[in-house]
Copies of this chain bind each other. A is one copy, B any other.
Amino acid sequence: MSRNYHHGALAEAMVDQALADVRVQGAEHVSLRSIAQTLEVSPSSAYNHFADKDDLLRAVGACGLAALDERMARVLAAHPTDSPDAARARFSGLGRAYLAFAIDETHLFQLTFGPICAVQEISPEDTGPYNKLTTALDDLDRWQLLKPGIRSDLDLMVWASTHGMATLLVEGAVPPESVDAFIDSMARLVFIEGALSAAEVR
Contacts and interface: CB of A to CB of B under 8 A. Distances in A.
A164 interface: yes
Interface string A165-188: 111100111110010011011101
Nearest to A27: B115
A92 interface: no
A186 B157 contact: yes
Interface string A80-117: 00000000000000000000000000000010011110
Contacts of A121: 172-175
Contacts of A171: 113, 118-119
Contacts of A79: none
Contact of A167 (B120, B156, B164): B164
A163 B170 CA distance: 13
Interface in A135-175: 149-150, 153-154, 156-157, 159-168, 171-175
A173 to B, nearest CB: 5
Contact of A164 (B122, B159, B178, B181): B159
Interface of A: 26, 28, 110, 113-116, 118-122, 149-150, 153-154, 156-157, 159-168, 171-175, 178, 181-182, 184-186, 188-189
9 contacts: A28-B116, A120-B172, A122-B174, A153-B185, A159-B168, A160-B165, A161-B164, A162-B164, A163-B164
